[in-house]
Amino acid sequence: PVLFRDDEDTFKILIATDIHLGYLEKDPVRGNDTFVTFNEILEHAQKSEVDFVLLGGDLFHENKPSRKTVHSCLESLRKYCMGDRPVQFEILSDQAVNFHCSKFPWVNYQDENLNISIPVFSIHGNHDDPTGADALCALDILSCAGLLNHFGRSTSVEKIDISPILLRKGRTKIALYGLGAIPDERLYRMFVNKQITMLRPKEDEDSWFNLFVIHQNRSKHGATNYIPEQFLDDFIDLGLWGHEHECKIAPCQNEQQHFYVSQPGSSVVTSLSPGEAVKKHIGLLQVRGKKMKMQKIALETVRTFYMEDIVLADHPDLFNPDNPKVTQAIQAFCMEKVELMLDNAERERLGNPRQPEKPLIRLRVDYTGGFEPFSVHRFSQKYMDRVANPKDIIHFFRHREQKEKNDSDLNFGKLVSRPASEGMTLRVEDLVKQYFQTAEKKVQLSLLTERGMGEAVQEFVDKEEKDAIEELVKFQLEKTQRFLKERHTDAEEGKIDEEVRKFRESRKKNTKEEDEEVREAITRARAHRSEDAVLVASSSDEELMDTGIKSTGDSDDGLPSTLSRGRGRARGRARGARGQNSASRGSSRRGRGSTSQESATSSRTYKPVSTPAKNMSIMD
């Protein structure tokens, strides 16, 4: 497209998303890919003399990035974004509202102690979202250091008011809206219940160019596990969509609401799926008045990725499943395909010296029809020095044969076949739900709900909240016990079971209340983690004071005076917990000889519950 000429009325914005710094950082071949490409992105921003950089989430791959990753990110931002070049636009909105979660609630280039030449604005994604007792994320570290402006953060799950950052350059005004990643199903429900409000400027609201940054599923992953474009407000001019890795950066118009959506895609291949094989780009967005132009900029440092599918049943002339040497023939055919992809990669690299030497190669082989797969490990040995991902070049899969049904109402949606585990992201809570739906009756949940359990397990897996499951079990147990007491249920097992079943069904229907339950349980888990930190600190101080003193008559632990180092720490924690209720004291007695972690967990106190004075297992 013909670009606007540079003048005092034209905004120049560099657009990128899903950079995933630190992805495979320990891989000897691919470890530095994300850092090199991030430098290239910021280099483009510097050369193009953009007004600011706008990122759509997932700057980091891990929720708790390593020191190396954080250090490399700070190094790049300091190198390319600090300098004497003046920033040409001003902010008109109340920055205390825009950056309300920051200890320094103003844009970094207006801080008199910093010398910023290219401001970076970013929302958080699902990989680097706020967690922990203080609800902090990796972007907050960059924000506190003055190298990035973290916006679009919402603290309430009841109602979200999105207040825009109002920018002005000459006669062009941009209202920049942002919404950091929120679990898709929750956000879907909030949109349906009209709990999301996008605030607009009171003066000349039609003269603003409205730019909205979002980080959610765009393609449908389930009934409510995505955000339809139709949910967004009509007045938006351009939506910048993060999270989806396939590059569709050219703005595409929504036919119903007439706004445009740009999906920049990721700048690194994080899954060997078809969407990732599309060439990676970033965008140079120019806005003047209410008009915009998007220039695609191909990234040169991205590792090339080639992908091909083979269906063995489509080649009856080449492969006969009854032939004893058919496996060797399949292997030779696959080698031929890989060699062809390597030749294409070499040719492409000749014109681009910045491209990494070893490409990514993926060959998906459908062996449905009586064929047998060959050894992938032996095959990969041949390409150790030529391919960046030798261990997973080949992916064998076969379609499950559908059983014929006599019913007239066949569900054709279920008959659509697709490669197993390929290009799909399985979520922890989906696995939990799927497990209990297909489990035998004797192991079905009768007190807890699948949804609550799934959320707790995901917190445990993704965010390392080690007490999340335990707290959810306790919370739902307390709630059920209170319900039974209020109903004055007779102490007959049959009646109790029936009341519990009814109570569980009513909770499953009330998804909002269940969300609150999970949040309360997670909050309690975080609070206990903070208490643990204080407890450990105080116990270690006490250990120092008690060195060499023989412990006698200590009814809480009853441990011998000569202890191993681990036991000494456990004893210190148990002593620090003295004075708690009888349940916890009993549990600390049971913990004799346990590791320090077990002892610390068992000596915690919770709200009084009518349970026996011993630790209850999840099965109980």
Averaged pLDDT, 369-378: 92
Q: Are residues 166 and 32 in the same domain?
A: yes
pLDDT recorded at residue 226: 96
Based on the fold, state whether residues 255 and 125 are members of the same structural domain: yes
- 149 CB neighbour count, 10 Å cutoff: 25
Q: Residue written as tokens 């980091």?
A: 60
* Cβ burial 216-230 (10 Å sphere, 16+ → b, else e): bbbeeeeebbbbebe
- Find the mean pLDDT for residues 85-103: 95
The CATH number covering residue 75 comes to: 3.60.21.10
Q: What per-residue confidence (pLDDT) applies to 219?
A: 93
Question: Are 156 and 14 part of one and the same domain?
Answer: yes
Tell me: the pLDDT tens digits for 413-461? 544 444 444 444 556 677 777 777 776 666 677 777 777 777 778 777 7
Q: Are residues 15 and 152 in the same domain?
A: yes
The pLDDT of residue 426: 59
Residue 596 has pLDDT above 50, yes or no: no
Instruction: Categorize the per-residue pLDDT at 345 as very low, low, confident or very high, splitting at 50, 70 and 90.
Output: very high
- State the pairing for strand pair 165-169/90-91: antiparallel
Label residues 89-115 b or e (16+ Cβ within 10 Å = b): bebebebeebbebbeeeebbbeeeeee
Structure confidence at residue 598 as a pLDDT band (50, 70, 90): very low
Sequence-distant (6+) residues with CB within 8 A of 572 are 539, 540, 542, 543, 546
Q: What is the pTM of this model?
A: 0.70
The arithmetic mean of pLDDT across residues 571-595, rounded, is 42
> 127 an active-site residue?
yes
Among the ranges given (84-98, 129-143, 375-389, 452-466), the one the predictor scored with the smallest mean pLDDT: 452-466
pLDDT at 573 over 70: no
146-157, pLDDT tens digit by residue?
999 999 999 887
pLDDT at 612: 45
Same domain for 56 and 203? yes
In the chain, the number of structural domains is 3
199, 201, 202, 209: which is closest to 174 by C-alpha?
209
pLDDT at 532: 63
Indicate which CATH number applies to the domain containing 369. 3.30.110.110
For the chain, the average pLDDT equals 82
Under 8 Å between Cβ of 281 and 34: no
Structural domain range at position 472: 445-534
Q: Find the radius of gyration of the CA atoms of the chain.
A: 29
Determine the pLDDT at residue 399. 79
pLDDT at 473: 85
Task: Categorize the per-residue pLDDT at 530 as very low, low, confident or very high, splitting at 50, 70 and 90.
Answer: low
Is the pLDDT confidence value at 143 over 50?
yes
pLDDT of residue 94: 95
What pLDDT score was predicted for residue 620? 54
pLDDT of residue 458: 77
pLDDT band of 545, cuts 50, 70, 90:
very low
Residue 55 is assigned to a structural domain of this protein: yes
Mean pLDDT confidence for 175-201 = 96
Q: How confident is the model at residue 278 (pLDDT cuts 50, 70, 90)?
A: very high
In a shared domain, residues 102 and 170 = yes
One domain for residues 57 and 164: yes
**Domain-embedded: residue 589:** no
End of a domain among 340, 362, 397?
Answer: 397
Q: Rounded to whole angstroms, how far apart are CA atoms 160 and 182?
A: 11
Residue 561 pLDDT greater than 60, yes or no: no
Mean pLDDT, residues 392-418 taken together:
63
**Whether residue 47 sits in one domain with residue 113:** yes
- pLDDT value of position 452: 78
Q: Is the pLDDT of residue 167 over 90?
A: yes
291, 313: one domain: no
Residue 43: closest CA among 266, 311, 297: 297
Residue 59 within a domain = yes
User: Residue 559 pLDDT more than 60?
Assistant: no
198 pLDDT above the threshold of 80 = yes
Q: How far apart are CA 248 and CA 219, in angstroms?
A: 13
| Identity of the residue numbered 499 | E
Would residue 500 count as lying in a domain?
yes
17 and 78 inside one domain: yes
For residues 240 and 360, state if they share a domain.
Answer: no
For the cut 50, the answer to whether the pLDDT of residue 101 exceeds it is: yes
- Whether 223 is in a domain gets the answer yes
Q: Which of 273, 298, 323 is the last residue of a domain?
A: 298
291-298 β-sheet, strand order = 149-150, 120-122, 52-55, 10-16, 281-288, 291-298
Q: Does an H or E element contain 282, and which?
A: strand 281-288
290: in domain: yes
Do 82 and 122 lie in one domain? The reply is yes
* Residue of 574 and 349 predicted with greater confidence: 349
Model pLDDT, residue 308: 96
User: Is the pLDDT confidence value at 401 over 50?
Assistant: yes
- 618 pLDDT higher than 70: no
On whether residue 597 sits in a domain, the answer given is no
* Among 247, 272, 298, residue at a domain's last position: 298
Residue 609 has pLDDT above 90, yes or no: no
Higher pLDDT, 291 or 415: 291
State the pLDDT at residue 442. Answer: 63
For the cut 60, the answer to whether the pLDDT of residue 197 exceeds it is: yes
Confidence at residue 480, expressed as pLDDT on a 0 to 100 scale: 82
pLDDT at 553: 41
* Residue 527 Cα to chain centre, angstroms: 23
Percentage above 90 pLDDT, the chain: 58
Residue 216 located in a structural domain: yes
**Annotated catalytic residue, options 20, 61, 127, 528:** 127
Q: Which sign, positive or negative, has the C-alpha torsion 134, 136, 141, 145?
A: negative
